[in-house]
Structure 1
Amino acid sequence: MIILFAVIIQLLLPLSPLSADSLNQQTTPTEIIDLNKFPLFIRADFSSDYVISGFIPFGKEWIVLSPSADGNRSMRIIDIEEFSQHHFLSFNRHKPQEYTYAIPFYVSSHQYIFLNKPPNPMLALHLASIGDNWEVYLNGKLLRSEIHRDVNGTIVQHRNYRDVLIPFSATLLRNGPNNVVFRIIGDPASPLVGLNSSAPYRIGPYTYLKSKVNDLVDVTLSLIYIFIGIYIILSNLTKYAYIYNQLFGLFSIVLGLYFFTRTSSIYYLISDSEILFSLEITSLFLILPVVTSFLSALSPVTKTQRKVNYCIYGIYSILIIAELLFHPAVIYDLTNIWAIISIITLMYDYIHLVIWKFFLALQSRLRNSNSSFTYRDVLKEIKETLLYTPIGNILIGITLLVITSVIDTYGSIVLKRNLVTSRYSLIIFLVGGFLVIARNFLNLFNQLNTANNALESKLSMLRNFTKQADHSQKIYLGIFNNTEEPIIITDTQLVVQEYNRAAENLFGQGIDEGKSLLKVLQYISESNKSIADELSDLKNKVLLTGKSVQYTINKTNIMLLEPLTNNNLPWIQVRFTKTDPVYHNGSFVWGKGTYSLDNSMAAADAISLRITSCMGHALGNETSQLVHAAIREMICNAIEYGNLEISPQEKTEALQLHKYDELLNKRKELSIFKDRRVIVKYIVTPRKALIKITDEGKGFDYKTILTKAKNPDHDFLTQHQGLFLALAAFDLVVYNDNGNQVLLGKTISG
């Protein structure tokens, strides 16, 4: 699955909308300075006079390479007849020589204005490839130096780098004529001296060019290939009957190493490019013999096949040993030899080890299916053999590998471009090989998959139950801790397990966890009244019937015992209320209470629901939902805009960025806000409901807001949803002078 995920990333990356163009949509090709569109002047020496600002190269000593119509031109020293000292398989290493590459270029007014805009203060020079040792000058200013020679002029550190990005200030660029000069030092027979790729060489905004040369995905995929290969080898060390597993792991390692050596990030680990070049070519030469071994191990081989395989291993071994012993000029010639041999090897692997075996597998399926078959049957069997057999998967991958390898060879030798299209086909081939291994464990996987699905279903149910339980617990704790109504939680033996702040205020030091409820009640019960027997009867009634029971403790306190469940165990919740008259201004009281809330949204939701439930039966479903939403929003407003002093604009922006929870948590932690509370008082009678919400904030200009509410626009509805709902749900909405307290009133009919 890791490899499949990596493949999807790599294949979709060129199509991804999150490209450099989307990062800087204002940058267009016409605003990027393409240095390949200007003449290149080269001469076989270097002088400080050549880098002087305004210097114009002229004279017969300068070789001129004309601008390229298609943006590609060969700029290596070995490709320039006047300077090249390269001879096929020459083992002589030449003394490093100096060369000057000069590109006078012109910056139009449009380009100059764009490149000097404030969003692009930093520019960069992007070089596809440069080596061996070098310096870069722009209008007489040294941008970067990578010259590493001893006192005798011998190069001690080689710096042939790909995708070099050199940042510089936009002030160095001029409107009109400019000049970029490269001081190149290296062996005139080496393929690593000069501007070694044909394109691109360009100047543009630093951020734009940096996004273009970002190799994070390539590095990630390379490391995935390497670690997957190591894992497969280590997990199959003792399984000699499945040698193809180990060979596939080796192929994955070699492939990952090859791709990694071609990234610019590897220069942070190994700075000497000659070592990297040798490492890159070694991994390249190893790929095809490992592929041949893997394909041969999938089924028994004949003696002839074994001899051919040994011949292939021998040839590639000679190439690898030779490239480890000799300098880059010889390695370059060995690479050209490899390009020819690799085509022959690919044809052998493709035709004999894959297509022929695919034909045999297809023939076997056709024989087993029916004695007579139609044209459609043949096409169906070909499709199923390709998709559902190991050799079919390999055929798809290696077909793409053959095509892209030919393209890469042509691009490297003829176009001098670093195409590397084979990395896509090699990925698919890697997946094909991975599928071959996976099919050996398919039966076991199906069994495990069935068990895993059942387990995942149970875990999903458990996660949902846990989530619901956590949410319910959060809501309950919000009410439990914030209500001014004393509450005690006991077990079935009436031993105190938990209590809230209001209970602690009522009983003082007389209450403590682990203490009997009977002893706690003695602090407030009438002295001449024994409640032990009655308390036991009340407890049994609650546990047996599952219903609440009420008991008058004294003239001022009533105790309500309610059934409760905690972790599937029966508990009892004991609530205490005052023995106030049941009438309030001539009406029965449906609900009455006071809550002191911390800045908790969960508590706001629970308390608003509790208040609404007192009148919901008389309002109807739709009105009840509107009232509940209005109360909740007004409590939330008191928390957000009042206690936490979050402005409507701040809330809107945070919601758009999906960072509102983060904003709330940060404000709650500030010392100036964390101790603030919201007080909610309410009373509900059959005739009227009154709710007073008070916060500890600075208040707001409610008069202006209420005026705007008469003709609300879209912004008002977005930023003042709570007030809009309150005006729609309640008959009375009255603020105090400061605006940090609101009284909501509603006439109830029914």
Structure 2
Amino acid sequence: MRRALRRVLVFCLVGALLPLAALQADIEDGHLALTGEVQSLSGTWLFRPADNPAFASRDQDDADWTRIRLPSSWHQSGFLYDGVAWFRLHLSVSGEPRDLGIMLPYVDAAYEIYVNGHALGGQGRIGPAGELEQSSSRAAFYEVPADVLFNGDNVVALRVRSYGGVGGMVTPDLFVGPAVELRTDFYRYLMGNTVPGAIFLFFGVYHLILFFGRLTERQYLYFGGFGIALSFVVFGLDSMVAWIYDSHAFKHLILHLSLTTLGFWFANYLHAQYRAPRTIVLRAINALTPLFLLALAGSLVSTEIFNYYMRFFLPVLLASLLATFSYGIYLTLRAVKRRNVAARIIVVGFLLFGVAAFFEILGYLHVTQMARFVEEGFMLFVLSMVIAMSVQFSRLHIARERAIRKLARRLLRLNRAKQQIVDSERRYRHLVESTHDLIFALDEEGKFLTVNKAIKSWLGFRKEAVIGQSIADFLFADGKSNTVLRQAIIEDRMKELRSGRKHVEFRAEFRTALDQPRELVLRLARIQQEEGYVIFGIASAVPEDPLMRYVTSEQADFVIGNDMALAELLGQRLTAGLYVFLDPVEVAGIRMGLREIIVNAIEHGNLNITAADKTQALGSGTYRQLFAERLQDDRYADRRVFVSYRLDEKELEVTIRDEGSGFDHGSVMGRDIKDINRENMLHGRGILLTVAQFETVEYRGSGNEVRLVRALPARRIAGFREQDPARPKRIG
């Protein structure tokens, strides 16, 4: 790759330098010998910054006139003069004169042409006193009749009126030759200059349209502006704009507006094309552009500012363009080093254009004298950028097609996976709705999000009545204190899940639609999701030891701490063997009574929560806080509850003892439960509920020990029950 680039560079430089010798101007010291072919009139002319009609005469003595090179503006040669000036050129004709043709580019700002004192015409209009009456910027062709010419010396004279001290011509398109041949060349010249400008304009507009379709691809915007600016440069330099509106000011606006923005469009295009980061050079270019535009605006409203603009700002502008394109070469070479495909293509056109632009600017600044082919260089350069963007677009299109195919495959897999999810969800929904267990989901606050139809069988509630309600609202309680404690158990389990535990399992009694207790085993699991977490739960019947139906007698002793959850579990354990003697409703009543006694032993006995304390705490809603404080109190923290249990085929005997100071059990035992309800003594009602379930309720000592006895009926058929408690009755 490096060798190939080196060969291209050498070829470009040799191709640019070879024409130098052949294109040396034929005019020396204001004289040109005609050869009968088309010849360039670029070279040294005779110049006089004054106005005199006699200057058009063939006999005018011009030996002392200043030598000045055309094409140029006389201010570039040091003449700070605004008015009418004359240019003269001696043409030497050998042999019989024939019709000649003279072709001139646009001349600032108006002129008249004479051959041997004979007026051929002109562009614009110069007043009798030398004032500029009308400017023009059109190129023109003039035919010189043979009868005007002499065998020998002939004189071509140009009377030129400047604008703002700028007079003369810029482009090298001035020729002399046979009339017929040169006229044909003139029309080719007009067409030839229109085509490159039109191509640049087409490229610019086309890529602007592409940008509006792809607003994120800013290289299309910058290249569109660059192409339009290039077209205006071509139209302005080659006087094409004069065929739209023939005015020196209009031509100046179009040409210099393009020149002032050309560097901006170019630098930003390369940055966007190569995805290069913004640099201080780019910021400087972007900052200078408004300053050049401001100077251009001033040159349109004042001849003095116009003069300063052409003398000072224009050279700076051209130098900045040269620096900008040098910076573009730097960016392109860096992109080539990064293996950027577009840069590899642009670098070739860049070199060709750089050579053409370099010699164009040197020619304008009178540094060297050579033919200028900047339009061709522009064409090759722009073509390279178009090819680069086409290649990039093609690569993007191929990548897009690949991405579309890849996306289509992924969408196909996604649709299949989605269908599998739908099928799985349908099967899961069927499984959830048809299962015997109660399956539900809770939010972070413990409210039901979903629940299956088993809620109707287990508790007698419809699904719609449960959604949005808290799970704690469905706990069974026969008193306010029990409600608080059981809700505390649920909340403690929820806190365990929030603290990081994956799942918890515990037992709880729920209330049915008929306000009856139903004990269930709950298994809760915490599932993290994007918007938070969800608690999934399964509730099922309390598992039973199948051997308990074959027990004929059993005896055990238990020692527990002040844990309400253990009170629940112990009540369930003490009644586990009663199902072979009693129906489930009676067993539930006995379990409730035992639980109440154990709870009283914990709160009233071990924790010394008096009836007054409990009543006040329940009324103020601080019972849980009071219970927690007593658990932390060193006086009560180590106390235990002792439970002795005996079961045979005749009776159930349970003895429960706490380490408290006892209580006045006689004040409760001798009263009716209806009286307690009327007085709202919730904490005394549990004892009477227990009394209703046992034949013997015997308090001993100070009241911190109680013996409970329940007589049992004859044993039912071993291993068989009238109803399996694991299969709930349908309620409601």
Q: Is TM-score (shorter-chain normalized) higher than 0.5?
A: no
Rg larger in 1 or in 2?
Answer: 2
| TM tier relative to shorter chain | 0.3 to 0.5
